[in-house]
Amino acid sequence: MDKISKKLGKNINRIRDQKGMTQGDICRATGMDRAYISRVESGFKNPTISNLEKIAKALGVTPDELLK
């Protein structure tokens, strides 16, 4: 697990919590598996650029906001 993956996961989790969303909400909006979202949030899985864009859209932010 690298620093970027960990930071990305923390940002997704923080933004999701701020918006009052669950992992299930993200899954329904993106069509992704909840286990996949969980692994991305915990920094164990790197999403593809396409999936990163889908997650960002579901959260209502830009992909670069997830990587800050």
Q: Looking at the predicted structure, is the pLDDT value of residue 31 above 70? A: yes
Q: What is the DSSP letter of 43?
A: T
Predicted pLDDT of residue 41: 97
Read off the pLDDT of residues 34-68 as tens digits, 9 standing for 90 and up. Answer: 999 999 999 999 999 999 999 999 999 999 999 99
Q: Looking at the predicted structure, is the pLDDT value of residue 26 above 90? A: yes
Read off the pLDDT of residues 15-24 as tens digits, 9 standing for 90 and up. Answer: 999 999 999 9
End-to-end alpha carbon distance in the chain: 17
∠ CA(16), CA(43), CA(34), 5° rounding?
Answer: 55
